[in-house]
Amino acid sequence: MSDVKASYTIALIGNPNCGKTSLFNQLTGARQRTGNMAGVTVTSREGHKAWRGVDFHFIDLPGIYSLANSRVEERVARDYLIDTPPDLILNVVDANNLARNLALTSQLLEQGLPLVIALNMLDELEKQGGNVELAELSLGLAKPVIGSDGRNNRGIEQLMDMLLDSIDQPCEPLLITYEPHLEQAIHALEQAGLRRWESVRWLESAGEGLALVENDQVQVGRKALDLLAGRHEQSPAEMVAEGRYGYIHGLLHKCSSEHRDQSAADHWLDRIALNRWLGLPVFVLLLWLMFEATFTLGSYPADWIDAGVSWVGQQVGAILPESLLRNLLVEGLIAGVGGVLVFLPNVVLLFFFIALLEQSGYMARAAFLTDNLMSKVGLHGKAFVPLVMGFGCNVPAIMSARTIEEPRARLITILINPFMSCSARLPVYVLLAGIFFTDHAGTVLFGLYMLGILVAFAIAALLARTISEQHDETFIMELPPWRFPSSRSMLLHVWDKAGDFLRKIGGVILVGSILIWLLQSFPQQGAPWLEQLGHFVAPLFAPMGFGWQETVALLSGFIAKEVIAASLVVVYQTDMNDMAGLQAALGSALAPASGLALMVFTLLYMPCLATIATIRRETGSWRWAGVSILMGLVLAWLGAWLVYTLASLWI
């Protein structure tokens, strides 16, 4: 405590029947009095206690479950904390109903209020065979926690000392990560001038728990509520509650023997998913099944789309006379765009399975399982979410690393994210795995994703030993309850991702296909510019068995990785407007070992332009963007060469 003053105000707050008033009586003795809070009909108690030369003024607020609802006692507590904030809050928590009581605690912590926690009725819990690790609970909440008993004065002296020591201590708001669409709504309100906890409170109460004073804030808030209503069946209050209880479940798994709010089925699933020995093998098995199904099930609709693209190409070729325009449309635009469009079913299936794992609650368990492993390589537990998001697109994944406050952990997460295979690389993997490893294509996909994770962890371990840590950051794993994902939510999620893929096809892939065709078609006399460029750079890639066609395809991938597949379609010019022609041409031009090396190079080499720009913005330096580019190129060349050399011995 610094700069001690004569008197401090301590507000007692907690759920009804948590033993708060009994503890208040033990703290204040016979000197308490009853008084009305201004403007309301609900009473609260006030009392004093002198301790080590300091006067403590205690306010016993009405028992409440939440700060967001409109019940009168909740408005009293909420308005008191905002209008006349106390020097310190004594949050009284019932040890027998921890999950429910900590829901209020999490709201106080999100608001960034100075807090000490008294765990009441701990003896009753212990009589029932339960226990709570106070030190673990304190570490998880980053707040002092002490056991208390309102029925006698045992431990009152220790509690008073803790209150005295906690006065004027720095207090950081708790940051709970909510569902992505809810996070977008919170961010929009923050941009309109609200603090994070105010944004959460306003959304949670649908505008009733907090008054907005600016018209633009009201408009932003209403728009955010409308967007959430259009995207989710759950109300914002339910989504906030789910996020908070996910945080609490994660906390209780670490510090409490009780988990009464779990059903028997949830408990059984957790025993398997979180098992020390079974958990990781089950996780790996699920990932293998996901990639196997992505390739196998996706091949059927992919064939249908391929047949449709081939038919369109033949019809356009038959209608138009021989000309540059005909060649541009058939060999450039339709072949290039169609060559990527056929992989849409694989992309949709991959995101469907990822959404299934996320919305069922399994992905949070996977994060819990890998937390120890990640900490050993210098990664923060919060890095799991950005890394998983990297399977979709590295750009938002890198931006989501903002939730990691410790600078070194955030920087490492940003730099290793490009090694997580984004969906843009999937068409290249599916194409090459289908050509060279037809019977084991799903296993090859699984191996590539695992290789990306292993390389990311190895680089993280190396960076952790070369960059100094600035401060430690507490992490609580959020374990939401198990649930069946709603069909509407799954469809919306998959539709969003499919829309992103289609927009890329209509943008960067279309432009890239036309550009590649132009470079491949001119000059019309002599070697085309693209071929000249390919032959010039090809010696660098000759040790992996790549020809000039693969070389220019990799160069085009600097723009966006999807362009690699489109470039291969255009440069091979198989005169067969379907994937079978490209597969036959690639299969005869490359050895299987070179095909495998080409996939590894695609996995590891430098990020696309959008990712590089994001790394520059998030790190605030071109130096780290340059490190990412150089690191990717060196690792890709060495990795592809090593894979080609070893694979040539067996394949």
Give the DSSP letter string of 413-452: HHHHGGGS--GGGHHHHHHHHHHH-GGGHHHHHHHHHHHH
Identify the band that residue 2 occupies on the pLDDT scale cut at 50, 70 and 90.
very low
pLDDT of residue 546: 93
pLDDT of residue 259: 52
pLDDT of residue 212: 67
Spacing of C-alpha 332 from chain mean position: 38
pLDDT of residue 450: 94
* Residue 64 pLDDT exceeds 80: yes
pLDDT of residue 37: 37
pLDDT of residue 213: 65
Percentage of the chain exceeding pLDDT 90: 24
Using CB atoms within 10 A of its CB, is residue 620 exposed (0-12), middle (13-18) or buried (19+)?
Answer: exposed
Mean pLDDT over 167-190 rounds to 87
**Which range, of 90-99, 286-295, 393-402, 570-579, averages the lowest pLDDT?**
570-579
Mean pLDDT over 404-420 rounds to 88
Residue matched to tokens 């803790």: 162
Mean pLDDT over 397-417 rounds to 83
Q: Nearest-CA neighbor of 258 among 124, 397, 129, 172? A: 129
Mean pLDDT over 219-229 rounds to 86
pLDDT of residue 444: 94
Q: What does the block give as tokens for 545? A: 């068995």
Q: Is the peptide bond before 523 cis (omega within 30 degrees of 0)?
A: yes
The residue among 40 and 618 whose pLDDT is bigger is 618
Sheet holding 43-51, edge to edge: 33-36, 43-51, 54-60, 7-14, 88-94, 115-120, 145-148
Mean pLDDT over 181-194 rounds to 87
Mean pLDDT over 526-554 rounds to 91
pLDDT of residue 38: 33
Distance between CA atoms of residues 447 and 441, nearest Å: 10
Contact 458, 412 (CB under 8 A): no
Q: What does the block give as tokens for 263? A: 């059903």
* Residue 356 pLDDT exceeds 70: yes
Q: Please provide the average confidence, as pLDDT, over all residues in the chain.
A: 84
User: Who contacts 548 (Cβ-Cβ below 8 Å, separation ≥6)?
Assistant: 531, 534, 535, 537, 538
Question: What kind and span of H or E run contains 343?
Answer: none
User: Who contacts 468 (Cβ-Cβ below 8 Å, separation ≥6)?
Assistant: 408
Residue matched to tokens 């849409």: 344
Identify the band that residue 42 occupies on the pLDDT scale cut at 50, 70 and 90.
very low
Residue 506 phi, psi (nearest 5): -75, -10
- For the chain, helix (H) and strand (E) counts, in that order, are 30, 7
The residue among 397 and 385 whose pLDDT is bigger is 397
* Residue 77 pLDDT exceeds 70: yes
Reported as a single tens digit per residue, the pLDDT across 97-143 is 888 899 999 999 999 999 999 998 887 777 777 788 888 889 888 89
Distance between CA atoms of residues 42 and 60, nearest Å: 12
pTM beyond 0.85: the answer is no
pLDDT of residue 35: 37
**Which range, of 169-173, 484-488, 508-512, averages the lowest pLDDT?**
484-488
Instruction: Please give the span between the terminal C-alpha atoms of the chain, in angstroms, as a whole number.
Output: 70
Q: Which long-range contacts (CB under 8 A, 24 or more apart) does 79-85 make?
A: 80/11, 80/37, 81/11, 81/108, 81/111, 81/113, 85/113
* Residue 246 pLDDT exceeds 90: no
pLDDT of residue 541: 93
Mean pLDDT over 59-87 rounds to 80
* Residue 275 pLDDT exceeds 50: yes
Q: What does the block give as tokens for 32? A: 């308490």
Mean pLDDT over 53-77 rounds to 80
Mean pLDDT over 560-582 rounds to 75
Q: Nearest-CA neighbor of 118 among 22, 7, 20? A: 20
Cα angle value 299/305/311 (rounded, 5°)? 135
Using CB atoms within 10 A of its CB, is residue 399 exposed (0-12), middle (13-18) or buried (19+)?
Answer: middle
Cα angle value 247/248/251 (rounded, 5°)? 90
DSSP string, 553-594: HHHHTTT-THHHHHHHHHHH--S-SSHHHHHHHHHHHS-HHH
* Residue 343 pLDDT exceeds 50: yes
Amino acid letter at 537?
A: V
**Which range, of 53-62, 66-75, 297-306, averages the lowest pLDDT?**
66-75
* Residue 263 pLDDT exceeds 70: no
